Amino acid sequence: MKLKEFAKQLGLSPTTVSRALSGYPEVSEVTRARVAEEAVRLGYRPNVNAVRLKTGRAGAIGVVMGRAGEFHFAEFMAGMAERLVTEDTDILVIPMADPDHNDEMQLYRRLVESQRVDAIIVHSPRPNDERIALLHKLGMPFLVHGRSDIDVPHAWLDIDNEGAVRRATSHLIDLGHRRIAMINGRQGATYALHRDNGYRRALQSHGIEPDPQLIANGNFTDELGFRFARSFLEQPNPPTAFVAGSMMTALGVYRAVRSLGLQVGRDVSLIAHDDVFPYLTADNMVPSLSATRSSMRAAGTRCADLVLQLISGRSPLEIHELWPVELILRESTGPVRQPQI
């Protein structure tokens, strides 16, 4: 059913019908109601592609997806979906070929030019992220999930990574730990930097010098969690506590600790960051995992919300949200054990 045909059935012009459905004021309430009603009855729905061509709006939010299968991704998307379900906006997932730099910029450039999306969400920004500069230059609305230090105005939503890790680390220090290892995310992303800062500040404010031998960076995998933890624990002067970047990393740390005949929460303390997954909960781990917690799903929902505001004209300058992170103490943290004499 096309507009023309539909309008004819109603005895109205396409103009009026279009306006009635789009909520323009210059159409009488009576007419509007009738049009809306008949549209449902006859099943008329405007052709999206025609609307998009004419209006220039794409009706979609772009999310560029890296190749690393990040488990956060699904949660974030589910959160976005939750918000967008009532909206007439969908999510366009754009595959990224290689993390090769040039390619990536090219991808964003094309995405913008192609006019397939009204806005873009940028993930895992770097301190000086060229994607941000590019999108700003091209005038494409975008929201950064995370933050960047770049000298370009941008809307962002981030969690307080630094504060979270600082508190986590401080807490471990308060428990008497002095050798605290840090298993961080991949180097380069701002959040990893912030977490590193939080870690260092906590140590330094207690007069402890960070030991580079106790700091590691890498993907959030069980495997790396294990490897790093294991190699740290096998050092001559092993750590008594760990701060870990993700639930998967935590799993690896648990394994490593166990594999050495030690016990998490007694011999080694651990605090990890928990993005709140329905399928793996910190509280259920044995011993239950002390965690800095912030819902990835909620972030997705809010990001979708903010992007919608961005699209409808709100200034990026007004959109800066820093979410506090909970620190939830459970059994994986405990006072440092006196070295056996």
Partner DNA sequence: TTTCGCAACCAAACCGTTTTCAATTTTAGA
Partner DNA sequence: TCTAAAATTGAAAACGGTTTGGTTGCGAAA
Nearest to DNA of 28, 187 (CB atom): 28
Q: Which of 9, 15, 233, 295 binds DNA (CB under 7 A)?
A: 15
Contact region with DNA (CB under 7 A), list: 19-27, 193-201, 249-257, 303-311? 19-27
Distances in whole angstroms, Cα of residue 27 to Cα of each of 6, 7, 99? 17, 14, 51
What would the x/- binding string for a second copy be over residues 47 to 86, using CB under 8 A?
xxxx-xx--x-xxx----x-xxxxx-xxx-xx-xxx-xxx
Strands 180-184 and 215-217, how do they pair? Answer: parallel
Contact region with DNA (CB under 7 A), list: 41-49, 155-163, 240-248, 257-265? 41-49
Give the nearest distance from C-beta 5 to DNA in angstroms.
Answer: 8
The residue behind tokens 């260092």 is: 200
Which listed option, DNA, a second copy, none, makes contact with residue 285 (CB within 5 to 8 Å by class)?
Answer: a second copy
User: Any contact of residue 89 with DNA (CB under 7 A)?
Assistant: no
What would the x/- binding string for DNA be over residues 51 to 80, using CB under 7 A?
x-xxx-------------------------
What amino acid occupies position 5? Answer: E
Sheet containing 290-293, strands listed edge to edge, beginning at the edge strand earlier in sequence: 215-217, 180-184, 241-244, 269-274, 290-293, 326-328
| Residues in 273-332 at the binding interface with a second copy, rule: CB under 8 A | 277-281, 284-286, 297
User: Any contact of residue 16 with DNA (CB under 7 A)?
Assistant: yes
b/e per residue 146-167 (b: at least 16 CB within 10 A): bbbebeeebbbbbbbbbbbbbb
Tokens of 334: 């405990």
Tokens of 303: 């990001």
3-state secondary structure of 315: coil
Longest dimension (CA), the chain: 95
| Residues in 160-189 at the binding interface with a second copy, rule: CB under 8 A | none
- Name the residue among 275, 233, 238 with its Cα closest to residue 254: 233
Contact region with DNA (CB under 7 A), list: 42-50, 60-68, 283-291, 325-333? 42-50
- Decide if 58 contacts 311 (C-beta within 8 A): no
Give the nearest distance from C-beta 49 to DNA in angstroms.
Answer: 7
Nearest to a second copy of 243, 285 (CB atom): 285
| Residues in 95-154 at the binding interface with a second copy, rule: CB under 8 A | 95-97, 110, 113-116
User: Any contact of residue 13 with DNA (CB under 7 A)?
Assistant: yes
- Decide if 183 contacts 225 (C-beta within 8 A): yes
Mutual orientation of helices 296-311 and 71-84 as an angle, nearest 10°? Answer: 50
Nearest to a second copy of 248, 327 (CB atom): 248
Nearest to DNA of 5, 234 (CB atom): 5
Among the residues of the chain, which ranges form H helices? 3-10, 14-22, 29-42, 48-55, 71-84, 101-114, 130-138, 161-174, 190-205, 222-233, 247-259, 296-311
User: Any contact of residue 40 with a second copy (CB under 8 A)?
Assistant: no
Give the nearest distance from C-beta 286 to DNA in angstroms.
Answer: 57
- CA torsion sign for 335, 336, 340, 341 is negative
Nearest to DNA of 33, 68 (CB atom): 33
Which listed option, DNA, a second copy, none, makes contact with residue 19 (CB within 5 to 8 Å by class)?
Answer: DNA
Over its C-alpha atoms, the chain yields an Rg (Å, rounded) of: 25
- In the complex, which residues of this chain contact a second copy (CB under 8 A)? 43, 45, 47-50, 52-53, 56, 58-60, 65, 67-71, 73-75, 77-78, 80-82, 84-86, 90-97, 110, 113-116, 219-223, 226, 248, 251-252, 255, 258-259, 277-281, 284-286, 297
- In the complex, which residues of this chain contact DNA (CB under 7 A)? 1-4, 11-16, 18-19, 21-22, 26-31, 45-47, 50-51, 53-55
